[in-house]
C-alpha cells in the first residue's frame, strides 16, 4: 500500500464504529453476532497494531463527522504535510 501513496488511518473507538454501522447488514464479520460492540472491540484489538504500523498519519475521528474528517485531511495537504511524492513529511506528525 505504501508504494501507492500516503496511508491515512482514520482511528475511531469501538463505540463510534458501532454507532456508525449498527444497522448495516453488509458487514459479514458482524452478521449474526449477538453483541456487535464486543465483536468490534475484538476486531480492533486484533487489527489496531497493524493499522498503526502501516499508517503514515493517524486522525482520530471520534469527535468528527465525515465533513470534519475530510477537511482535516485537506488541511494537512494544504499545510504541506504531504510532499511531492505523496508521502507524509515525518517531521510534521499530527
Q: Between residues 38 and 90, which one has the greater pLDDT?
A: 38
Domain count, the chain: 1
Q: What is the dihedral of CA 16, 22, 28, 34, to 10 degrees?
A: 110
- Note whether 58 and 9 are within 8 A (CB): yes
| 3: in domain | no
| 1: in domain | no
Query: What is the value of pTM for the model shown?
Result: 0.74
Q: Between residues 61 and 91, which one has the greater pLDDT?
A: 61
For CA atoms 8, 14, 17, 19, the dihedral sign is negative
What pLDDT score does 1 carry? Answer: 53
| 39: in domain | yes
| 62: in domain | yes
Query: At residue 75, does pLDDT exceed 50?
Result: yes
Amino acid at each position: 500500500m505504501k508504494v501507492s501513496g500516503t496511508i491515512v488511518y482514520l482511528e475511531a473507538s469501538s463505540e463510534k464504529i458501532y454507532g456508525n454501522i449498527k444497522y448495516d447488514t453488509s458487514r459479514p464479520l458482524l452478521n449474526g453476532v449477538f453483541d456487535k460492540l464486543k465483536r468490534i472491540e475484538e476486531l480492533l484489538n486484533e487489527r489496531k497494531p497493524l493499522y498503526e504500523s502501516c499508517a503514515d498519519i493517524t486522525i482520530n475521528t471520534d469527535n468528527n463527522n465525515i465533513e470534519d474528517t475530510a477537511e482535516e485531511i485537506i488541511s494537512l495537504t494544504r499545510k504541506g504535510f504531504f510532499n511531492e511524492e505523496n508521502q507524509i513529511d515525518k517531521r510534521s506528525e499530527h
